[in-house]
Amino acid sequence: MPVDGRIARGDATRRLVLRRAVDVASVDGLDGLSLGRLATELELSKSGVFALFGSKEDLQLATIEAAFDIFEAHVVTPAREAEPGVARLRAVCENWLEYSEQRVFPGGCFFFNVGAEFDARPGRVHDAVAAASGAFGSFLRSTAAEAVARGEVDADPEVLAFELHALGRAANADAVLHGGTRAYELARRAVRARLAG
């Protein structure tokens, strides 16, 4: 069945708006988003953009979902192709560091930034950020547990996942604030050392 041209155009416009929204939010936060700003920057009609998202909160929620899809495509999905255990754990850590270092989002890790923005603010946006962050944390823990169960790493898997996630977050924060790649080099060395035994 052929797709209505208006629906296809609406979907394409929605994707365009969300791609710009994730970049804006990675630098200016989710509160920095506005339908009017996005319409102006993308040279779209404000009424058309307003029709795609019912409210600022709906835009924020859609932006979180779009950012998580991008994050998964760069970090989690390629890691799943690695051998289970420590090889997959190394892969997910390297993918995460590369995703931040390559500035997939101009402000560094999208979820590090919006997590700090909404960590103490209850509501639907907080819950969506927490769910996305929690999904990645869960993948990290299950991957660490696999490596421990296979005897490839001697550690408490929950603590190991926490440590690896902390190294990625620290590298992201230092590199965004100070520039350069030294923080990523240090994080890679720390990950290698942590997973060596």
Copy the structure tokens of residue 129: 């950020």
Decide if 92 contacts 140 (C-beta within 8 A). yes
In the chain, the amino acid numbered 119 is: D
Residue type, 143: T
Contact between 157 and 148 (Cβ < 8 Å): yes
Which pLDDT does position 50 carry in this prediction? 84
Length of the chain equals 197
Q: Phi-psi region for residue 177, left (φ > 0), alpha (ψ -120 to 50) or beta?
A: alpha
Residue type, 109: C
Record the tokens describing residue 140, joined without a space. 């990290």
pLDDT tens for 67-76 read 999 999 999 9
SS3 10: helix
pLDDT at 118: 93
CATH architecture under which domain 54-196 falls: Orthogonal Bundle (1.10)
93 has pLDDT over 80: yes
More confident residue, 10 or 177: 177
Residue labelled with tokens 């994080």 = 187
Q: Select from 71, 97, 75, 92 the least CA-distant residue to 147.
A: 92
Structure tokens at 109: 């890790």
The CA R_g of the chain, rounded to the nearest whole Å, is: 19
For 29, counting Cβ atoms within 10 Å of its Cβ (0-12 exposed, 13-18 middle, 19+ buried), the class is: middle
Instruction: Encode burial over 45-82: b for 16+ CB neighbours within 10 A, e otherwise.
Output: eeeebeebbeeeeebbbbbbebbbebbbebbbebbeeb
Amino acid at 126: H
Distance CA 52, CA 7 (A): 11
Quote the percentage of the chain above a pLDDT of 70: 95
Report the distance separating Cα 100 and Cα 98, nearest Å: 5
Model confidence band, residue 130 (pLDDT cutoffs 50, 70, 90): very high
Residue 16 is inside which H or E element, if any? helix 5-28
In the prediction, which pLDDT does 8 show?
60
Cα gap 6→161, rounded to integer Å: 46
